[in-house]
Amino acid sequence: MGTEALHDLTAAYALDALDPQERREYEAHLARCERCRDELASLSDTATSLAYAVDPASPGPALRERILSSARAERPNVVPLRPRWAVPAAVTAVVAVAAAIALAVWATSLSDKLDRERSHASAQERIAAVLAAPGAHPYGVPNGGVLTVTPNGEAALVLRRLPAARKGMTYEAWVAESGTPRPAGTFEAAGDVTAVALAVPVPHGATVLVTQEKDGGSQVPEHMPFITVKTA
Amino acid sequence: MGKTVDGMSRAFAHLSDEAVVALIARSDEQALAELYDRFGRVAYGLALRILRDEALAEDAVQDAFLTAWRRADTFMPERAKASTWLLTLVHRRAVDLVRREERRRTEPIEAAGERAGEGPAEDAVWLRYERERVQAALSRLPDQQREALELAYYGGFTQSELAERLGQPVGTIKSRMFSGLGRLRELLAEPEPGERTWEPRPSTT
């Protein structure tokens, strides 16, 4: 199969609509094609959203224990220190785990991109540290986004497709416990994903707000919040 | 989605899905229980939709969770959502089984929803929200694109089988799947109509 034809299989692969031969060819191609790995990353999320359109259903109550006892029996098999993406050869080998491997393969390209964007490293590292912190708790933000708060109260706000602020205005985050909200930093919209590490901690039960304020920010919110996320 | 069914997994309720998978990579059995408690019903609902058979659907879910158990060390949280990773395993397994069993059908199955209301309230609300959001987006696709996505994803048909079934060239099916999935991605990224939207104006992308 030609390379162009293989590019065209990304959607079908994301939907698991390839026969075994096509699947193997595509996975071999995937290991070499960064464009397809990027595209597959995105289309896999979309394809998987179809799983949520189905009514969830409860399996028999015994299934949980069956899975756990089988896992227990296999426990010694895990070898966590194996290099994670030294797998392209294996991609073609084991159909049952192909999806997991393919996800790891395309994922490597995202890592390369991140490496090239070290200019944002310090802010990104703060955000990444919050997102990866043990015990960090995510709170959904209406219209796409998540507020993540660590047990220490460090917090990161990730918003999807936030449009640019009005002319002369900036976004500002706030943390409210009781009384006047405290300013938690100003920020600008950044394309598809806007990620912000909040400048002040978020105590349990506090509310995180986002408003638009005049350029440079404000010490007290002068505009109505359009995001309000209450933490537990 | 943190939900718990007993004291065993309560300790993990505040972890992200990705953190739970990281613990599974360290052979933490309670983390596997937590992952099951979070996604077991979605996974089983999906497998049942594809396989139309409770025993086979349970087999698919079991195989997928055990694959997750064995392969959690290959999962890279900074690069993929844990939910996508896990449900991709479930889907792959269910599709492989349905092709082997030749049991696939495409009509909705009525019994599948019977036990759907049992989960904790927080879980049910989130799932209902997601379900309505995805169903609304699906309903806005052109019929031929929606048909291609549904027959492929829920029916387990390969693109060649779809081409034959619909009497179209494979290239046409391929392009319907590609356009349909791309369009679905756009629709899911749009702000919800009728809900609060970002101020001051909706995204123009």
Q: Give the residues across from A171 on adjacent strands.
A: A187, A212
The DSSP secondary-structure symbol of A179 reads S
Q: Are A149 and A137 in contact (CB under 8 A)?
A: yes
B158 and A19 in contact by Cβ < 8 A?
yes
Q: Give the residues across from A13 on adjacent strands.
A: none
> Cα separations (Å) of A194 from A28, A125, A140?
34, 14, 15
C-alpha–C-alpha distance, residues B184 and B178, integer Å: 10
What pLDDT, on the 0 to 100 scale, is given for residue A158?
87
A95 and B96 in contact by Cβ < 8 A?
yes
Exposure string for A38-52, b = 16+ CB within 10 A, e = fewer: ebbbebbbbbbbbbb
Segment-wise mean pLDDT, segments of 10 residues, chain B, 205 residues: 45 82 91 94 96 95 96 80 94 94 55 45 68 94 97 95 95 96 93 52 45
* Crossing angle between the packed helical segments B82-101 and B54-71, to the nearest 10 degrees: 130
Exposure string for A74-95, b = 16+ CB within 10 A, e = fewer: eeeebeeeeeeeebeeebeeee
Backbone angle region of A16, left / alpha / beta, with phi > 0 → left and psi within -120 to 50 → alpha: left
**Token pair 């002040």 in the structure block, residue:** A200
Which residues does chain A have with pLDDT short of 50?
Answer: 77-120
Q: Which of B45, B153, B195 sits opposite A55 (nearest CB)?
A: B45
Average pLDDT, chain A: 78
Question: For chain B, which domains are there?
Answer: 7-109 (1.10.1740.10)
Top residue of B98, B199, B205 to mutate, by most chain A CBs within 10 Å, is B199
Nearest-Cα distance to chain B for A179, in Å, is 24
For residue A23, which of B48, B95, B151 has the smallest C-alpha distance? B95
B200 and A75 in contact by Cβ < 8 A?
no
A75 and B80 in contact by Cβ < 8 A?
no
Q: For B84-96, give the secondary structure using H, E and C.
A: HHHHHHHHHHHHH
Backbone Cα Rg of chain A: 22
- Residue A173 neighbours by CB under 8 Å, 6+ apart: A157, A183, A184, A185, A186, A187, A196, A198, A199, A208, A209, A210
Q: Are A40 and B79 in contact (CB under 8 A)?
A: no
The CA-CA-CA angle for residues B3, B79, B186, to 5°, reads: 85
The CA-CA-CA angle for residues A77, A81, A85, to 5°, reads: 100
Q: Give the residues across from A230 on adjacent strands.
A: A207
Residue of chain B whose alpha carbon sits nearest to that of A108: B79
Q: Are A221 and A213 in contact (CB under 8 A)?
A: yes
What pLDDT, on the 0 to 100 scale, is given for residue B10?
57
C-alpha–C-alpha distance, residues B119 and B135, integer Å: 20
How many CA within 13 A on the CB side of residue B33? 20
C-alpha–C-alpha distance, residues A150 and A129, integer Å: 9
What pLDDT, on the 0 to 100 scale, is given for residue A159?
87
The arrangement of strands across the sheet holding A155-160 comes to A137-140, A145-149, A155-160, A193-197
The H or E element that residue A66 is part of is helix A62-74
Domain boundaries, chain A: 3-116, 123-230
C-alpha–C-alpha distance, residues B200 and A211, integer Å: 11
C-alpha–C-alpha distance, residues A161 and A163, integer Å: 6
What pLDDT, on the 0 to 100 scale, is given for residue A76?
53
> Where are any strands of DSSP class E within chain A?
137-140, 145-149, 155-160, 169-176, 182-187, 193-197, 207-214, 227-230
B113 and A11 in contact by Cβ < 8 A?
no
SS3 B68: helix
Top residue of A27, A40, A50 to mutate, by most chain B CBs within 10 Å, is A50
B114 and A57 in contact by Cβ < 8 A?
yes
SS3 A10: helix
Q: Which of A57, A84, A143 sits opposite B76 (nearest CB)?
A: A84
What pLDDT, on the 0 to 100 scale, is given for residue A132?
82
* Fold of the domain built from segment(s) A123-230: Immunoglobulin-like (2.60.40)
C-alpha–C-alpha distance, residues A82 and A176, integer Å: 45
- Residue B111 neighbours by CB under 8 Å, 6+ apart: none
How many CB atoms within 10 Å of residue A230?
12
C-alpha–C-alpha distance, residues A231 and B170, integer Å: 50
Q: Which two tokens stand for residue B184?
A: 């679905």
